[in-house]
């Protein structure tokens, strides 16, 4: 992998358990699809980091070619591409997403 | 910057012969669609792979000419 942007993304997803590439920030999403994924992650109480593709054109293009996926947002868990807004929503609704986070050991312990 | 329903459907069906394609124009602006695609070619593939097949069928228009296409894919029951 020689593309420096791809190398940076690889490093980021290797070192961040739950990494979301999105438009805007978790506090101020700038696209409804990105906002929905943030909302789901917050709801599941999963710690995550975000990268704002609107601040960096090379990242915006780079993440698309890296994942072979044409749209933003994109969710990575433990280095694995999970999907975009539709897949994340579908997995959330079916309960698969929660199971995935539990299996990967990235869910926050429940605070009673 | 917009695509007609027929154009999207034709591209998907050309790449996935026999697929059952259902497209809804969500906002009536020719730019926000929801599509359900059922195809035998999806069998045994992950959701990510299924969506990638549809995106490939749209030949780079997704994320460009086509801003929003909510996708739901599956293999026939």
Average pLDDT over residues A18-30: 97
- Domain range for B21 is 5-74
Asked if B5 and B36 touch (Cβ cutoff 8 Å), the reply is: no
- Residues from chain A that touch B72, judged by Cβ atoms under 8 A, are 86, 90
- Residues from chain B that touch A83, judged by Cβ atoms under 8 A, are 47-48, 51
ipTM at complex level: 0.80
Q: Which residue of B has its CA nearest to A73?
A: B63
Question: For A27-55, what is each residue's pLDDT tens digit?
Answer: 999 999 999 999 999 999 999 999 999 99
Asked if A53 and A2 touch (Cβ cutoff 8 Å), the reply is: no
Average pLDDT over residues A91-101: 96
- Domain range for A15 is 4-103
Instruction: Give me the CATH number covering residue A64.
Output: 3.40.30.10
Q: Give residue A2's pLDDT.
A: 74
Q: Strand order in A18-22's β-sheet?
A: A49-52, A18-22, A74-77, A80-83
CB contact under 8 A, A68 and B52: yes
- Report the C-alpha gap between A107 and A45 in whole angstroms: 7
pTM: predicted TM-score of the whole model, two decimal places: 0.89
- Residues from chain B that touch A87, judged by Cβ atoms under 8 A, are 47-48, 51
Counting the structural domains of chain B, the total is 1
A108 pLDDT tier (thresholds 50, 70, 90): low
């Amino acid at each position: 992998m020689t593309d420096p942007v791809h190398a940076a993304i690889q490093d980021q997803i290797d070192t961040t358990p739950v990494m979301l590439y999105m438009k805007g920030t978790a506090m101020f999403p700038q696209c409804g699809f990105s906002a929905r994924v943030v909302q789901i992650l917050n709801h599941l109480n999963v710690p995550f980091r975000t990268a704002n593709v609107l601040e960096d054109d090379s990242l915006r293009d780079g993440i698309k070619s890296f994942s072979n996926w044409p749209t933003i947002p994109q969710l990575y868990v433990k280095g694995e591409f999970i999907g975009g807004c539709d897949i994340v929503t579908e997995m959330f609704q079916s309960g698969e997403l929660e199971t995935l986070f539990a299996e990967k050991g990235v869910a926050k312990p429940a605070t009673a | 910057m917009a695509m007609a329903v027929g154009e999207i459907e034709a591209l998907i069906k050309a790449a996935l012969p026999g697929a059952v394609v259902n497209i809804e124009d969500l906002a009536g602006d020719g730019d926000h669609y929801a599509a359900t695609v059922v195809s035998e070619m999806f069998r045994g593939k992950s959701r990510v792979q299924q969506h990638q097949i549809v995106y490939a069928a749209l030949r780079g228009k997704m994320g460009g000419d086509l801003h929003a296409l909510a996708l739901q894919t599956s293999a026939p029951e």
